[in-house]
Structure 1
Amino acid sequence: MELESMPQFLENKTILVTGATGFLAKAFVEKILRVQPNVKRLYLLIRASDVASATERLHNEVIGKDLFRVVREKWGVNLDSFISEKIIAVPGDVSYENLGVEDCKRRKDMCKEIDIILNSAATTDFDERYDVALGINTFGALHVSGFARNCINLKALLHVSTAYVCGEKKGRILERPFQMGETLNGTSRLDIKAEKEVAEEYLNKLRLLGATDTAITSAMKDLGIKRAKLFGWPNTYVYTKAMGEMLLGRFRENLPLVIIRPTMISSTYKEPFSGWIEGVRTFDGVIVAYGKGKLKCFLGHRETILDIVFEIVNAVICQYKYKDMIIDLKKRIKSGMRLAELYKPYVFFTGRFDDSNTEKLRMATSESGVDAHLFGFDPMCIDWEDYLLNTHIPGLKKYALK
C-alpha cells in the first residue's frame, strides 16, 4: 500500500463529521485544522433545531473548547473568518433518514462535495435507554451508510465502533466483521428490525400506563440491558454498536468502508498539548471516585490489561486507503453496586485483541515516510506509568473536573 503525504491528501478535501460535539470528533476536527488549513470544507452534523442553534453549539461546544487553543493562537484575530470559511454547522441527527438534514439544497451540495465521512455519532452510556441507543448506535449507522451511498465522490466512510463489541470473550480476539443476525451466545437469530419493534411497543405500553418520565427512562434502560444479555452482550452500548456494524455490513454495497474499533479512549498524549480530556470517561469514573475517597477498593482480575488508546485520531486519518477492513486499537451503596455491575465485563476481561490491521497500517505509514511526529500511533514508544501519573490524571483534574 502506498500512502501519500497525509497533509497533501487532506488538501482541498470535503469531510463530513457526525457526532461533531463529541470527544473524538472534536479531536479529529482540531487535528485537521491544525495540520491542513487548506482542507476545503468540514461539514459538522450537530443536533439542533436550526442553523443558528447548530452554529451556536459549534462555537460553544467545539471551537470554544480548550482543545482548540493552538488553532486559536495561530489564527488570532483571523480565527472567525477562517472558521466560517472552513466549517459549516449542519443541523441534523443520525437517528433519522438523510441524517435529519431537512434543507434539500444543502443535502444535495453535501452529496456532491463530500470526499470522506467520519461517523463518530454515538451514545456511549453502558446502560443507555434502549430506544435511544438503537436510534443512534444501530440505526444511526444505517442512516449514515444510506447518506454515504449518495455521495458521488466518496473515498472513505470511517465508522467508529468499539473493540468491546466482542463481548466477554477470552484469549485472542481476531478482527472480523459480524454476520447479520449473529449472536455471541449462539441463541436464536437476532432480528434487528424486531428489536426496534420491541423497544417501540414497550415504550408505548409504559406511556399508556401513565408512567412518569423518570420511570420510563429507568424501565427503558433495564430493557436495553435485558435484551443485550439475552443475546450474549454485557450491556446496551456494545450490543447496539454491534448491531450497527451488522447493518453497515449488510447494506454497504460498494461503499469504501472502514470500521474502527478503539478500546478505551483517554486524554491526549502530546497533541495539540498533553492531558486534554472532556468529561469523566470510561475508567476515569473509578479514578475519580477513588481520588475523592468515595471508592476504597475495586475488584478486578489480576491478569486484565488496562487497554487504553489516545492516538486514535492519527490512526483514523492514516487509514483512509484501507477499505473493507476492521481496525482495533466501556444511594451511594446502590450507585456503587451499579458501577461495579457496569464495569464488571471490563475489569474481569481476559481477552487479547488482535491488532494486525493496525500494525500493518503503522508499518505502511512508517515505510511511506509519513511524519511520525504528526501522525504516529505506536504504543510501544509510550512510558505508560509516566503517562497515567503525569499526563492523564493531571489532565483529568484540570480539564474534566475543573
Structure 2
Amino acid sequence: MDFGNLTDFLGNKKILVTGATGFIAKILVEKILRIQPNVKKLYLLVRARDAKTANVRLQDEILGKELFKVLREKLGSNFESFMSEKISAIAGDTSYDNLGITAHELDQMFGEIDIVINVAATTKFLERYDMALGVNTFGAKNVVNFAKKCPKIQLLIHVSTAYVCGEKAGLIPEKPLEMGETLNGVSGLDIDFEKKFAEQILSNLKAQQLPENDIKRTMKDLGLERARKYGWPNTYVFTKAMGEMLVGKLRGDLPVVILRPTIVCSTLNEPFPGWVEGCRTIDSVAVIYGKGSLNLFPADKNSVFDLIPADMFVNSIIVSMKAHVNQANLTVYQVGSSYRNPVTFQEMHDLHYNYFAKHPWTNREGNPVKVGKGVVLNNIFIFEIILFLWHYLLQMILFMVTRMGLSDVQRTLFNLDKKLKIAMKLVELYKPYLFFKAIFADTNTERLLITARENSLDENMFNFDSKSINWKEFFVNVHIPAIVKYLF
C-alpha cells in the first residue's frame, strides 16, 4: 500500500463529515481542502433547522474562523467560489434516523458518498442524559445505518474517546467494547432500555410542568447516576462507550475504524501552530491558574496526562482512512502519548508556572497577575475538606458583611466565592483524571505508523508520531500562548 500518494487518494472522494462545527472536524476539513483541492465534495452535517441556517453556521462557525487563514491567503479571491464548489452544508442531526436529512438530499447523497467520518458528539462531562444518548450513543447507531445505505461506501470512521475505559488502571488495550460490557461487573446494561428509561423520566418531568432548569438539572443527575451504576465516572464517557458498542454490533461487513483520541490540545504545526477553540479539558485549569485564582492542586504528581495535538490526531484520521478503505473489518486505534512519550502532572505544572512567572497575564485593570508555584496535594479527601472549609468561611463572612452594608467588601467576597465554586466544580469533574492510573497502549497506532513509513509516508504532511513531540517546546512556545490568546 503506497502511503506516498495519500493526497491522490483523497482526490475525487465524496466524504460526509458529521459534527462539522466541532473542533476536530474543522481542522480535518481545512486540512483536506488545503492539501487536496481536487477532493470531489465534502458534505458537512450541521445541526440546523434548514439549509439557510446550515449555510449561516458554515460561514460563521467554520469558514469564518482564523483556522482557514492559510487557505484564504493561498486561494485569494477564489476562496469563496472554491468553498462553494467543494462544500455542501447539510442541515441535519445525528440524533434522528437518516441523520435528519431531507428526502431530496438523501437521494443524492446515498448514491455518492465514499467515506463517512463521524465526529459528532456532545463532550460535556455532565450533559443531560437524553441529549448525550441522542448524540453520543444513538447518533452513532444512526450514522452506521446511514453508511450502510450508501452503495459506494468504502469506510466509516467513528471518532470516540480513549476514556471509554473509565477509571481502569494499568495498560488499556486497543480492543472493541462488547455489547452490554460494563466496567464494574454489574450486569444488565441494555442500551435500548437506557433510551426508554430516559424518555420516560423526561416525559414525567414535563407532565409535572416543572421549570426548564429543574428538568435540565434532573436529566443531568440521571446521566451521572446511570454512568456510575455501570462503572463510568461521567455521562460523556458512558454514552460514548455505548455508542462504540452499537457501532460494533450493527456494522455487519461495513469497514469501520474506531479512533480513540486522548486529550486533544492545540495544533502543533498545521495549518499553523497553536490554534485552539473552546476550553479543552486541562485548559480550564490552566486558565484559572494563570489568572491567579488557583494555588492548590489535587493531583498525583506522577500521574501521566495523555495529550495529542489536534493536527496530529487529524493526520491519524487521514492515514487510517487510506489504510482501511474497503477492508471489511473493525479496527481500534488509540491515539495519544502516554505509552511512548509520557508527560506527568508535575512536569506540566512546572511548565505552566515557569511560563506565567515570566509572562504574567494582564487583568482588566492593566495589572500583571503574579502566580505562585502552588501546593500539590496527593490526597483528594484533604483537598475537598479544605475547599469546604474555605467555602463555609466565606459564606459566614459574606453574611456578616451583608448585614453591615459594606457593599465593596461584599462584592469582593462574592467574586472570591464564585471562583471557589468554579474550582469545586472543576475538581468534581476532573477528579477521576487527576489521579488517573492508566496508560493507553497504542500498538495498532504504532503498527499503522511503521507500515505507512515503510510505504513512503510524507511525515512532513501526515505526522502522527507522539514520540516526535518535545513537550517543553510545545507548551512554552505553542500551547500556553495559544490558550492565553484564544481563551483568556
Shorter-chain TM range is over 0.9
Partner of 2:58: 58
Partner of 2:369: none
Give 1:166 shift: 0.4
- Pairing 1:328–2:329 present: no
CA distance in structure 2 between the partners assigned to 1:206 and 1:150 by the alignment: 37
CA distance in structure 2 between the partners assigned to 1:220 and 1:333 by the alignment: 25
CA contact (8 A) 2:334 2:442 kept: yes
CA distance in structure 1 between the partners assigned to 2:419 and 2:225 by the alignment: 24
Task: Point out 4+ residue stretches in structure 1 off by more than 3 angstroms.
Answer: 1-4, 331-334
Partner of 2:92: 92
Paired letter, 2:473:
D
Give 1:337 shift: 1.8
- Pairing 1:301–2:304 present: no
* Match for residue 459 of structure 2 among 346, 349, 372: 372
Q: Give deviations 1:294-353, integer Å, cap 9, x for gaps.
A: 222221122211110111000000011234100001x43333222111101111111111
CA contact (8 A) 1:290 1:297 kept: no
CA contact (8 A) 1:303 1:350 kept: no
CA distance in structure 1 between the partners assigned to 2:307 and 2:128 by the alignment: 26
* Match for residue 441 of structure 2 among 344, 354, 361: 354
Give 1:28 shift: 0.2
Q: Give deviations 1:349-399, integer Å, cap 9, x for gaps.
A: 111111001101111111111110000111111110110121001111222
CA distance in structure 2 between the partners assigned to 1:398 and 1:112 by the alignment: 44
- Pairing 1:312–2:305 present: no
CA contact (8 A) 1:257 1:325 kept: yes
Give 1:2 shift: 4.9
Partner of 1:254: 253
Query: Structure 1 residues 317-326 or 271-280, which shifts more?
Result: 317-326
CA distance in structure 2 between the partners assigned to 1:292 and 1:364 by the alignment: 45
Listed as ranges, the matches of 1:61-76 within 5 Å are 61-76=61-76
Return the TM-score normalized by structure 2: 0.80
Partner of 1:398: 485
SS of equivalent residue, structure 1 residue 132 = helix
CA distance in structure 2 between the partners assigned to 1:400 and 1:365 by the alignment: 36
Q: Give deviations 1:165-190, integer Å, cap 9, x for gaps.
A: 00111111111111111111001220
Q: Please say which structure displays the higher CA radius of gyration.
A: 2
Partner of 1:16: 16
SS of equivalent residue, structure 1 residue 5 = helix
CA distance in structure 1 between the partners assigned to 2:422 and 2:482 by the alignment: 25
CA distance in structure 2 between the partners assigned to 1:156 and 1:3 by the alignment: 17
Return the TM-score normalized by structure 1: 0.97
SS of equivalent residue, structure 1 residue 276 = coil
CA contact (8 A) 1:2 1:364 kept: no
Give 1:121 shift: 0.2
SS of equivalent residue, structure 1 residue 391 = helix
Give 1:7 shift: 0.1
Q: Give deviations 1:115-174, integer Å, cap 9, x for gaps.
A: 111100000000000000000000000000000001111111000000000011111111
- What is the number of equivalent residue pairs in this alignment? 399
CA contact (8 A) 1:46 1:89 kept: yes
CA contact (8 A) 2:287 2:487 kept: no
SS of equivalent residue, structure 1 residue 68 = helix
Paired letter, 2:449:
R
Partner of 2:237: 238
CA distance in structure 2 between the partners assigned to 1:358 and 1:21 by the alignment: 26
CA contact (8 A) 2:126 2:235 kept: yes
Q: Give deviations 1:89-139, integer Å, cap 9, x for gaps.
A: 00000000000002x231121111111111000000000000000000000
CA distance in structure 2 between the partners assigned to 1:141 and 1:25 by the alignment: 16
Q: Could you tell me which runs of 5 or more consecutive residues in structure 1 were left unpaired when the two chains were aligned.
A: none
CA distance in structure 1 between the partners assigned to 2:434 and 2:5 by the alignment: 40
CA distance in structure 1 between the partners assigned to 2:5 and 2:230 by the alignment: 44
Q: Could you tell me which runs of 5 or more consecutive residues in structure 2 were left unpaired when the two chains were aligned.
A: 336-417
Q: Give deviations 1:197-243, integer Å, cap 9, x for gaps.
A: 11111111222222211111111111111100000000000000000
Partner of 1:130: 129
Partner of 2:192: 193
Paired letter, 1:38:
N
Partner of 1:141: 140
Q: Give deviations 1:265-308, integer Å, cap 9, x for gaps.
A: 00000111000000111110100011112222221122211110
CA distance in structure 1 between the partners assigned to 2:420 and 2:203 by the alignment: 32
Paired letter, 1:324:
L
CA contact (8 A) 2:19 2:121 kept: yes
Paired letter, 2:483:
L
SS of equivalent residue, structure 2 residue 21 = coil
SS of equivalent residue, structure 1 residue 298 = strand
CA distance in structure 2 between the partners assigned to 1:62 and 1:356 by the alignment: 34
Paired letter, 2:333:
I
Paired letter, 1:68:
F
Paired letter, 1:207:
K
Identity of paired residues, percent? 52
- Pairing 1:389–2:476 present: yes
SS of equivalent residue, structure 2 residue 297 = coil
CA contact (8 A) 2:2 2:456 kept: no
